Structure 1
Amino acid sequence: MLDIPLLVRVHVDALIAAQNDMGVCDAIERNEPVGKPTAMSAPHLPKVAGIDSAVPTPAQTSSPMPAFPAAPAPPGAVIQDRLAGWVSDLTTLHELTERLARTGSLDEALHELLRAGAALVGARRGMVVLEPPPGASRANDCFDEGRGPALTKRLGFTHAELGHIETVPRSAIAYGRILDGRLPDGQPGPAGHPEAVADGDLLGDKTLDPRYREVAVRLGYAASYTLPLASTAAGTLGAAVWMYDEPAAPVERQCHLVGLYMRYATEHLDRLLELEHARATVATVAEELLPSRLPRVPGVQLAARHRTGPRGGGDWYDALPLPEGALGLAVGSVSGAGPSALAAMGRLRASLRAYAVMEGEDPVAVLSDLELLLRLTEPARTATALFAYAEPARRKIVLAGAGHTPPLVVGERRTEFVETSLSAPLGMLACWEAPSVELSPEPGETVLLYTDGLLRRTGDPMDRAFARLHAAAASVPMPARDDPAAIADHVLRTVLPEGLDEADGGEDVVLLAARFD
């Protein structure tokens, strides 16, 4: 057994305690061997039980350890930060483009574009001007060349404030120069289209048109950032501009993001323009297939309201004078949608007019001939129809229906549906036939003929939709009951509070009102 001297044992104990408190390197430096044993054993730690050490605490403490410099960031940290920023930007861009893709109309898309662009560039207000070039797809005649901005939307401006901006000559504003082909600095962008224009300090720009300066001061904006709505396939469709309250400009990262967003927005708007153009074409064809004017027949006043759905349905109406002062009234609906349904509707209406002239006094015969024609020429299509033979001088109506909704009589003393026999639509059965119904309206009463599209647009079940229509007709004000047009308008406003132009209205609507004197 080795006999370890007491001096060495004390030195080892002190070394271990110092390592625990200060670290290995510092402990070794602070515990180098000294000449006297008491010096090595002086920094003795207190006992665990809390009793003070026999060795008194030195009067002076050791000097504090020097502060170590912060460790440099790993080489990959900068790359990770950049990647995180890119992922965040891409996520934001994806969310904004998804919101834009869910818009189904030009108005919605332009409002979403303004809102998203303002968030990307850090602005509060803005406006977008949509003006497709000549020859591009146009939703209606307002896109004709030479008629100024075709469609303008605003964000954060009132209508009057937007009017102030539009009083400034186009050549004095960046978006006007883009639309007119006068590109900034005379140079197009990389794709042959105008680039963005950043006016970081409008009021400090000595070359700014005084009229534009006056408008900017009045509306309280000091900087703007303008971007074209342009792509290689669509061309330049318009321009968007965002305004800052103070002199400012988007940073490079913001410019890059909003540029990507605007490229996608241009393609989306171009598709919506094509869709609006197709819808407008379908609506025009449908209107041309219907009567351009209603006939004037003594003893009866007529009014009609019609709206074609966005897909182009086959609802129709007709009113034609017949021999001996009679009047033929008809409404109907062809199954399907689109151009083929419109063509079938036109053929069916023309055929019914011919049958009505030959045998209009017998509505059952008219519909029977129409059903035979439909079954022979359109075997894969069905249709509903209602034909009424009216004699205004005798205030007598004979009508027959094929799977169609019953007429509604509106008068001072009654508002009720006409009880018609239940029958199948045309083309549904091998041979159609149903008895006719005779009706004698009182003086001042109005007969409403309509298609089921009016009921379906309410979104209610059919029984509730019928009740809603009945309540609307019963609530027509007394002064308005002398005018069939006023009656039709009141019924439509009450049944469809959002109007015939509501975005979700996919059904055709036909309402024909005949008031008997």
Structure 2
Amino acid sequence: MNAPHPAKVAGIDSMVPSPAHTVASAAPDASPVTGAAAPSAAVGPDAPGALLQDRLAGWVSDLTTLHELTERLVRTDTLSEALDEVLRAGAALVGARRGLVVLEPADGLGPDTTAGLGLGRADLGHLETVPRGCLSHGRILDGLPVGEDGVAEPDLLTDKSLDPRHREVAARLGYAASYALPLSVGGTAGTGPSNPGTAASAGSAGVPAGGPVVSAAGPRRLGAAVWFYDEPAEPGARPRHLAGLYARYAAQHLARLLEVERTRTAMATMAGELLPSRLPRVSGVQLAARHRTGPLGGGDWYDALPLPDAALGLAVGSVTGSGPSAVAAMGRLRASLRAYAVMEGEDPVAVLSDLELLLRLTEPARSATALFGYCEPALRRITLAGAGHSPPLLVGERRTEFVETSVSAPLGMLACWEAPSVELQAEPGETVLLYTDGLLHRTGDPADRAFARLHAAAAGVPRAVRHDPDAVAEHVLRTVLPGGKAEADSAEDVVLLAIRFA
């Protein structure tokens, strides 16, 4: 091959490694798409072999670039991360500095979201003042026909056919050109040419220039992406081709994350509807709760139920399994426990015994852990019974200790459940923490270390916020599960219920 020349893939940012090769100087009138010289430019007996090597080098370079970018994309786990990566990769491919991606699924089920690259909230607000039909990505979102290689607006400031408001906003934000691509899935049966005879004019990444074969159903729109140039500019044929391929791959990944996000939202909504919409106000105690669920939904629950004689029923529990069936079982179990608590709440052992019998009769394939407490706020006393559940944690000015409870099996594991109750006597200003095992399991530590971490987090609650159970619950949750573990996807639900005595 000849001496190295500048990279063939125009517009690729230096952040993406791209091997140098010789296509750019193969001939003065080389094709801007394939890099191949016109027949009249062939010189010498070795010219055809050199051109073939150059073309192969171009394909390898383009495929390497796409591989690097798609590898980074598939490592994203959330929609927000994926959208940010799409913007960065697209900017590198088309040689832009700023960009915007709008996720707006055509089925109307959401979620609708917007992400920007190099654009602040105020900039996004300015763009929203432009009539949607006047923006290139707005026309894509409205379902108007666009070319397969996107929509280029090479000189926004001098194009008098554009909406004046668009030109005004472009001048204010400091961009002079844009290039937009749709993000769509479905309707593409492959990457073969519509006419096999076009294979000779294949694009630089080895994909025939005839374009994808579109099914009769057509593509399903997810959204649109647009990148902005500081100066009048327009991406060449190769950057457009690579950006289009990348957008196709990115749309598939976004579609998968979209389904995960929808499932997570549906499960969280279902679980939220089965949990207390608000905690009761009872004289003598203050309550706060935290609940985190994974994308599939789980069976952890909590409850706080006013009972006769100014008492309060407190419960936390967990049903085995995940998904809609576990959420539904959790709802049935919680509703049953409420009924038993109203009838015999002053005897927590009887409440859990009734619940265990119901579980064996109606959910024979499931087991559950549960802890129920009959709270008397005026006496600052809680009578507790537990079934395979973690012990409560008492947090005060002079002590932070786990409450000793009797060892017992989970509900549904033995032919008949029975365990003695225990009494917890709190001092004024002390807080009792009830929690599910998911709080410990999400740490990833062995049980003894997880309990030690929880104890340390409770003991370290700042003195200034100990009067506020909501602040106590938040501090414990963030300390036990630092670095976003509380919000990260997990098969383990988390429930934390804080009860502070006046």
Per the normalisation by structure 2, the TM-score is 0.80
Aligned partners of 2:469, 2:458: CA distance in 1, in Å? 12
Letter of the 2:295 partner, please give it. Answer: P
Which of 247, 252, 256 is equivalent to 1:271? Answer: 256
- Paired with 1:74 and 1:255, the residues of 2 have a C-alpha distance of 28
CA–CA distance in structure 1, aligned partners of residues 64 and 251 of structure 2? 20
Q: 1:169 aligns with which of 131, 137, 142?
A: 131
Shift of 1:272: 2.1
Tell whether the 8 Å contact from 1:234 to 1:267 is kept in structure 2 after alignment: no
Alignment of 1:359-438 (within 5 A): 359-438=344-423
- Find the counterpart in structure 2 of residue 180 from structure 1: 142
Q: Distance in 2 between matches of 1:417 and 1:388?
A: 15
The CA distance in 1 between the partners of 2:223 and 2:430, in whole Å, is: 53
Name the residue aligned to 2:49: 76
In 2, the alpha carbon distance for the partners of 1:516 and 1:82 equals: 77
Distance 2:489 2:271 in 1: 19
- Provide the residue aligned with 1:228 in structure 2: 182
Q: Which moved more, 1:308-317 or 1:73-82?
A: 73-82
1:120 aligns with one of 60, 76, 93: 93
Can you give the 5+ residue segments of structure 1 that lack an aligned partner in the other structure? 1-69, 140-149
Determine if the alignment matches structure 1 residue 454 to structure 2 residue 456.
no
Contact 2:294 2:489 in 1 (8 A): no
Say if 1:234 and 1:270, in contact at 8 Å, map to a contact too.
no
Measured in 1, the distance between the counterparts of 2:446 and 2:417 equals: 27
| Cα distance in 1 for residues equivalent to 2:473 and 2:481 | 12
| Alpha-carbon offset, residue 219 of structure 1 | 3.0
The 8 Å contact of residues 140 and 224 in structure 2, kept in 1 or not, is answered as yes
Offset from partner CA, 1:69-101 (integer Å, 9 cap, x none): x84424233223213312332232233233323
8 Å CA contact 2:293–2:490 kept in 1: the answer is no
- Name the counterpart of 1:502: 487
Deviation at 1:164, TM superposition (A): 2.9
* CA deviation profile, 1:486-514 (whole Å, cap 9, x unmatched): 22222223223345763344421111111
Unaligned runs of 5+ in 2: 1-42, 188-217
Q: Which residue of 1 aligns with 2:69?
A: 96
The residue number in structure 2 matching 1:8 is: none
Amino acid in the other structure paired with 1:77: A
SS at match of 2:322: coil
Cross-structure match for 2:455: 470
Partner of 1:301: 286
Give the partner amino acid of 2:159: D
Matched residues in 2 for 1:211 and 1:496: separation? 48
d(CA) in 1 for partners of 2:335 and 2:168? 61
Identity percentage of aligned residues = 75
SS in 2 for 1:384: strand
Separation in 2, partners of 1:508, 1:478 = 29
1:159 aligns with 2:121: yes
Q: Does residue 138 of structure 1 match 2:100?
A: no
Q: Is the 8 A contact 1:170 1:176 kept in 2?
A: yes
Tell me if structure 1 keeps the 8 A contact 2:478–2:486: no
Counterpart in the other structure of 1:214: 168
**1:320-349: CA deviation from partner (whole Å, max 9, x where unpaired):** 122222211110011110011111111111
Decide which of 339, 345, 354 is 1:354's aligned counterpart: 339
Higher deviation after alignment, 362-371 or 231-240: 231-240
Distance 1:74 1:179 in 2: 47
Evaluate the alpha carbon distance shift between residue 385 and residue 230 of structure 1 in structure 2; reply closer, same or farther with a 3 A threshold: same
| 1:204 counterpart = 2:172 | no
Cα offsets for 1:351-394 (capped at 9, x unmatched)? 21122222222212222222222222222211111111111222
Work out the CA distance in 1 between the residues paired with 2:275 and 2:468. 22
Q: Could you list the per-position Cα deviations for residues 391-441 of structure 1 after superposition, in whole angstroms to 9, with x for gaps in the alignment?
A: 122222110111111111112222111111222212222332222111111
- What TM-score, normalized by structure 1, do the two folds share? 0.78
Amino acid at match of 1:207: S
Question: How has the CA–CA distance of structure 1 residues 127 and 71 changed in structure 2, closer, same or farther, with 3 Å as cutoff?
Answer: same
> Are residues 430 and 316 of structure 1, via their aligned partners in 2, closer, same or farther at CA, if it must alter by over 3 Å?
same
Structure 1 residues 405-414 or 332-341, which shifts more? 405-414
Deviation of 1:305 after TM superposition, in Å, equals 1.6
CA contact (8 A) 1:442 1:516 kept: yes
Moved over 6 A (4+): none
Secondary structure of the residue that 1:128 maps to in structure 2? strand
Distance 1:376 1:331 in 2: 21
Counterpart of 1:85 in structure 2 is 58
Q: 1:240 Cα shift?
A: 0.6
Distance 1:352 1:198 in 2: 62
Partner Cα separation in structure 1 for residue 320 and residue 499 of structure 2: 26
Structure 1 residue 188: deviation in Å? 4.5
For the residues of structure 1 that align with 2:486 and 2:438, how far apart are their CA atoms? 14
What is the SS of the residue equivalent to 2:415? coil
Q: CA deviation at 1:516?
A: 1.7
User: Take 2:337 and 2:219, find their aligned partners in 1: how far apart are those partners?
Assistant: 45
Contact 2:295 2:489 in 1 (8 A): no
In the TM superposition, residue 314 of structure 1 has moved relative to its aligned partner by 0.4
Q: Hey, what's the Cα distance between the residues in 2 that align with 1:306 and 1:348? A: 17
Corresponding residue of 2:500: 515
Separation in 1, partners of 2:430, 2:404: 17
Q: Which has the larger radius of gyration?
A: 1
Secondary structure of 2:300's partner? strand
Contact 2:394/2:402 (<8 A) preserved? yes
What SS class does the counterpart of residue 155 from structure 2 fall into?
Answer: coil
Query: Retained in 2: the 8 A contact 1:307–1:500?
Result: no
State the match for 2:203 in structure 1: none
